[in-house]
């Protein structure tokens, strides 16, 4: 049995350890009823804070070292009295050093207590903020789910409306075809039966949407077409009496370029919506068939004829007739320009060309050149344009000959132009 006056036992330290253990057990048994209390408990005691608390307690026990003499329990009798006497003398003489040190220790301990409380508060606030953020995120996710559901509903409605619109367009198309057959008009001059008015083509808006999505932006097309300006100016096309006729004028990019350069030009297109678009841009354009329009012109009456990405829509007989009429209406020195996709580019000839459902077939460059020469053009030249970007070319470091050969079919110009002159 241990004696209470046993000099080997430090009663004060023992009581402090018991008190610390009771506090730890009390905290461990403390129940948390709400989420905020749980967050506060976790924030205040992430590692039970026991190590920090115990360290500060030990520091506090030693903060006043040199302020008083210990009980000297390990000495007995006269030795204890002598030891305590010399201890008191030492403490008295060392006050010059110990008093500032004790003050310093107390200040440091007080600062650490404040810092510890601040850290606890910061952790508590951080935990609560995290909880609020999680709640906000869940709310946002719920809202996003609702928005996505509404978008799905709107998308389904749009699909339904598109389907209904397509059905109505099909019905209107049938009615228009029936109108073409059943509403004739007698020509006042020869008594021939012709259509009273041109009935709008139901495919006009569809092809306009197709052009906007697949042909390229207006600025991109302008950058490509501006390369033809030197040819126009060299042949005096566009000046007074030498008008330029652009067949298949589309959205009017080429007509706009010519107008900006002060050159006279007229656009012809079957698509009435595209023609109206040109007219709204203050460009001269007419809704008509290009071949029929050329047949209405006098011999030697125009300075140039241009057609960009048109002839691949025509059959052979119509193309030959187009070349013949172009030679007839051009003034001497006039020029005809026909641009079309280049089938030598394997990606164009095998894939991209067929993106347009109105294309008939790719046209071989030399064949196109031969036909124009055969029908009366002279000095017919081939001009290959619009090569892909350099980044699409194959690296030539390992197999330069193979890379060059493959680039000839994959990275050669995407378009070519046949240019013919009239003597």
Structural domain boundaries of the chain? Answer: 11-144, 215-421
Predicted local distance difference test score (pLDDT) of residue 335: 97
Cα separation of 16 and 114, whole Å?
22
Q: May I ask the CATH architecture of the domain 215-421? A: 3-Layer(aba) Sandwich (3.40)
Cα separation of 146 and 136, whole Å?
15
Predicted local distance difference test score (pLDDT) of residue 260: 95
Alpha helices in 183-226 (DSSP H): 204-210, 218-225
Q: At what angle do helices 218-225 and 253-260 cross, to 10 degrees?
A: 60
Predicted local distance difference test score (pLDDT) of residue 399: 64
Closest CA to 127 of 31, 30, 41, 34: 41
Predicted local distance difference test score (pLDDT) of residue 161: 78
Predicted local distance difference test score (pLDDT) of residue 92: 62
Predicted local distance difference test score (pLDDT) of residue 94: 61
Predicted local distance difference test score (pLDDT) of residue 6: 43
Predicted local distance difference test score (pLDDT) of residue 9: 43
CA distances from 16 to 10, 11, 19, 129, 346 (A): 10, 9, 5, 37, 90
The number of C-alpha atoms within 13 Å of 358 and in the hemisphere containing its C-beta is 12
Predicted local distance difference test score (pLDDT) of residue 217: 83
| Number of Cβ within a 10 Å radius of residue 84 | 15
Mean pLDDT for back-to-back runs of 10 residues, the chain (423 residues): 43 58 56 47 51 68 61 65 68 62 71 75 80 83 84 81 68 66 52 42 67 78 93 94 95 95 95 91 94 94 96 94 94 96 87 87 93 92 83 64 70 91 92
Predicted local distance difference test score (pLDDT) of residue 64: 63
Closest CA to 344 of 417, 295, 278, 410: 410
Q: Model's pTM, two decimal places?
A: 0.55
Cα separation of 80 and 85, whole Å?
8
């Amino acid at each position: 049995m241990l004696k209470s006056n046993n000099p080997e036992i430090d009663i004060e330290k023992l009581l402090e350890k018991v008190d610390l253990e009771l506090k730890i057990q009390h905290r461990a048994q403390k129940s948390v009823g709400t989420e905020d209390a749980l967050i506060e408990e976790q924030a205040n005691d992430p590692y039970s804070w026991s190590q920090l608390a115990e360290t500060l307690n030990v520091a506090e026990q030693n903060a006043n070292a040199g302020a008083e003499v210990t009980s000297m329990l390990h000495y007995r009798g006269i030795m204890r009295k002598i030891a305590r006497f010399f201890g008191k003398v030492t403490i008295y003489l060392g006050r010059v050093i110990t008093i500032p040190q004790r003050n310093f220790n107390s200040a440091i301990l007080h600062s650490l207590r404040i810092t510890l409380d601040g850290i606890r508060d910061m952790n508590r606030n951080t935990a609560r903020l995290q909880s609020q953020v999680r709640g906000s995120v869940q709310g946002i996710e719920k809202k996003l789910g609702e928005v996505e559901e509404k978008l799905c509903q709107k998308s389904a409605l749009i699909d339904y409306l598109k389907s209904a619109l397509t059905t109505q367009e099909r019905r209107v198309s049938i009615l228009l075809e029936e109108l073409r057959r059943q509403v004739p008009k007698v020509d006042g001059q020869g008594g021939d039966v012709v259509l009273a008015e041109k009935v709008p083509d139901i495919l006009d808006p569809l092809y306009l949407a197709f052009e906007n999505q697949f042909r390229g932006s207006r600025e991109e097309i302008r950058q490509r077409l501006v390369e033809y300006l030197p040819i126009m100016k060299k042949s005096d096309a566009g000046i007074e009496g030498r008008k330029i006729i652009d067949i298949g004028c589309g959205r009017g990019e080429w007509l706009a370029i010519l107008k900006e350069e002060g050159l006279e030009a007229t656009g012809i297109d079957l698509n009435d919506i595209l023609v109206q678009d040109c007219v709204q841009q203050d460009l001269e354009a007419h809704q008509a068939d290009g071949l029929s329009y050329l047949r209405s012109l006098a011999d030697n009456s125009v300075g140039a004829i241009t057609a960009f990405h048109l002839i691949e829509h025509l059959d052979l007989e119509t193309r030959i007739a187009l070349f013949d009429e172009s030679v007839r209406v051009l003034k001497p020195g006039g020029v005809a320009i026909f641009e079309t996709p280049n089938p030598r580019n394997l990606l164009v000839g095998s894939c991209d060309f067929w993106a347009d459902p109105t294309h008939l077939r790719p046209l071989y460059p030399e064949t196109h050149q031969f036909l124009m020469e055969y029908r009366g053009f002279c000095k017919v030249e081939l001009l290959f344009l619009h090569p892909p970007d350099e980044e699409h070319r194959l690296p030539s470091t390992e197999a330069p000959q193979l890379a060059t050969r493959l680039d000839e079919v994959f990275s050669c110009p995407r378009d070519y132009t046949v240019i013919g002159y009239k003597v």
